[in-house]
């Protein structure tokens, strides 16, 4: 399973971080671009029949599972 984590706040350098399987995070200019990249990876995994989870931290500090791919296709 691939796990993608998108924190709510930007990193120290002002970029938005996306970590994949708890590896060194990738840096993006906006939260939307980080989420778009995560969604693209998730779609690719889904096409291969592989599992994934996109975890997005809300402004309240709670982490939630993002289901955007399935909603767009439903």
pTM of the model: 0.84
Asked whether residue 15 carries a pLDDT value surpassing 50, the answer given is yes
DSSP 21: T
Q: Tell me the percentage of the chain whose pLDDT exceeds 90.
A: 77
Q: 64: pLDDT confidence band, cut at 50, 70 and 90?
A: very high
Residue 66: per-residue pLDDT = 87
């Amino acid at each position: 399973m691939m796990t993608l984590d998108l924190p709510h706040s930007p990193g120290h350098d002002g970029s938005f971080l996306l970590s994949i399987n708890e590896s060194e995070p990738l840096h993006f200019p906006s939260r939307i671009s980080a989420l778009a990249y995560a969604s693209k990876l998730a779609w690719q995994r889904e096409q291969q029949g592989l599992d994934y989870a996109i975890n997005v931290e809300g402004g309240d500090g709670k982490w939630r599972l993002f289901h955007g791919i399935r909603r767009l296709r439903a």
